[in-house]
Amino acid sequence: MSNTIDLAGLSNFQEDKLERPTPLYQNDYHAVYWLGTPENSAFRCNTYLITDGDEAIIVDPGGADAFGFIRRRVEQIIDPAHVSAQILCHQDPDVAGSMVHWLDVNPEMKVVTSTRTNILISHYGREDYSFFNITETPAYTFSSGRCLRFIEAPFLHFPGAFTTYDETSSFLFSGDIWAALDMDWKLVISDFHGHEFKMNLFHLDYMASNIAARGFVERLKGVRVKAILPQHGSLIPEKFVDDAIRYLSNLRCGLDIIYPEKKRK
Ligand SMILES: [Fe+2]
Ligand SMILES: [Fe+2]
């Protein structure tokens, strides 16, 4: 049974429909929701919730300023105290600033992140949490046996950055990779070419280099991706996934631009 919602059909999604979480994948036992965003800026952040049976995991919960909004969205799906884990793709405040507030909601909540990220997030004010280390254990298994896999993405943009692949939906939660900045935002893209400029606004400055980008693309070989769910900007549906991977392979960014004279021989 496949119950992927037609993401392309969400490309005309209107922002005034933001009062409820938007399901992106749903069947009797597993769902993925886009929780919306409280901000109307070019740098809008996406937070997602994955549910599996009675369990729920929040992906990149967002800044402290977004906590009230995101919590209310979660409440429309499940008791927030039942969210059993938060995935933090890296430590930036727009990703992890609400981490301690979620731990107040459920002190048992696991913090799922990399070793390097874990070192930094203690500066948000708590160290007394259960740390699930994706660097040592690159998969998270729900009690159903269904699995999330973690694919590391060094220097995109943080050394300890990683992505999360949901084996059930085949969705890739890509963090800052494939993030885009824009003021004419749509939930799902319908034109990849037009979207490249918006991704460039982020990637050229933030991502380390073409070596980092191509290295990550290598790690995706053999992974069937049905949608890319970034932390900023629009979602990329299946029909543009190959374009998105090609974009990353060809990307010249960061050090490639800052030190162009140091071309690799
Ligand atoms: Fe970031
Ligand atoms: Fe970000």
C-alpha dist (Å) from residue 147 to 164, 170, 226: 10, 11, 16
Q: Which ligand is closest to the CA of 92, given by its number?
A: 1
Residue-level pLDDT at 10: 75
Q: Which ligand is closest to the CA of 206, given by its number?
A: 1
Asked if residues 70 and 117 have their Cβ atoms less than 8 Å apart, the reply is no
From ligand 2's centre to the CA of 144, what distance in Å?
31
- Under the banding of pLDDT at 50, 70 and 90, the label for residue 41 is confident
- Other Cβ atoms within 10 Å of 85 Cβ, number: 22
From ligand 1's centre to the CA of 159, what distance in Å?
11
For 22-34, how does the pLDDT look when each residue is reduced to its tens digit (9 = 90+)? 999 999 999 999 9
Q: Torsion over CA of 252, 153, 230 and 109, rounded to 10 degrees?
A: -160
- What token pair was written down for 218? 């290598």
Residue-level pLDDT at 14: 61
- Under the banding of pLDDT at 50, 70 and 90, the label for residue 1 is very low
For 116-152, how does the pLDDT look when each residue is reduced to its tens digit (9 = 90+)? 999 999 999 999 999 999 999 999 999 999 999 999 9
> Is the pLDDT assigned to residue 5 strictly greater than 80?
no
- Give me the amino acid identity at 156: L
- Mean pLDDT (whole number) for 214-226: 98
Asked if residues 199 and 251 have their Cβ atoms less than 8 Å apart, the reply is no
Residue-level pLDDT at 232: 96
> Is the pLDDT assigned to residue 66 strictly greater than 60?
yes
Domain ranges of the chain: 7-258
Closest CA to 206 of 150, 161, 265, 151: 161
Q: What is the distance, to the nearest Å, from the Cα of residue 191 to the centroid of all Cα atoms in its chain?
A: 21
Q: Which fold has domain 7-258?
A: Metallo-beta-lactamase; Chain A (3.60.15)
Q: Using CA atoms, how far apart are residues 134 and 136, in angstroms rounded to an integer? A: 5
> Is the pLDDT assigned to residue 263 strictly greater than 70?
no
For 171-215, how does the pLDDT look when each residue is reduced to its tens digit (9 = 90+)? 999 999 999 999 888 999 999 999 999 999 999 999 999 999 999
Q: Give the chain's mean pLDDT.
A: 93
Asked if residues 73 and 36 have their Cβ atoms less than 8 Å apart, the reply is yes
Q: Which ligand is closest to the CA of 91, given by its number?
A: 1
If residue 151 lies in a helix (H) or strand (E), which one and from where to where?
strand 147-152
Q: Using CA atoms, how far apart are residues 182 and 199, in angstroms rounded to an integer? A: 9
Q: Using CA atoms, how far apart are residues 257 and 261, in angstroms rounded to an integer? A: 9
Sequence-separated (6 or more) residues with CB below 8 Å from residue 79: none
Residues around ion ligand 2, judged by CB within 5 A, are: 94, 176, 231
